[in-house]
Amino acid sequence: LSTMVTDGKLAKVIAWYDNEWGYSCRIVDLVAYIGKHGIR
């Protein structure tokens, strides 16, 4: 969700929903990174 007010009167709202697919992919990337580099 992103909200921006411009010119004091105009509100621009951007929202998206990806059914958690993008989040799941990033978690897999994070686990792979930790597996490769370890936790410091």
Give the separation between CA 39 and CA 31, rounded to whole angstroms: 11
Please report the pLDDT score of residue 31 as a whole number. Answer: 93
Please report the pLDDT score of residue 15 as a whole number. Answer: 80
Helix (H) or strand (E) holding 30, with range, is: helix 21-37
Please report the pLDDT score of residue 23 as a whole number. Answer: 85
Tell me, yes or no, if the pTM score tops 0.75. Answer: no
List the domain range (segments joined by +) for residue 10. Answer: 2-37
Helix (H) or strand (E) holding 12, with range, is: strand 10-14
Please report the pLDDT score of residue 28 as a whole number. Answer: 94
Please report the pLDDT score of residue 11 as a whole number. Answer: 83
Regions of the chain with pLDDT less than 50: none
Indicate if the alpha-carbon torsion angle 10, 19, 22, 28 is positive or negative.
positive
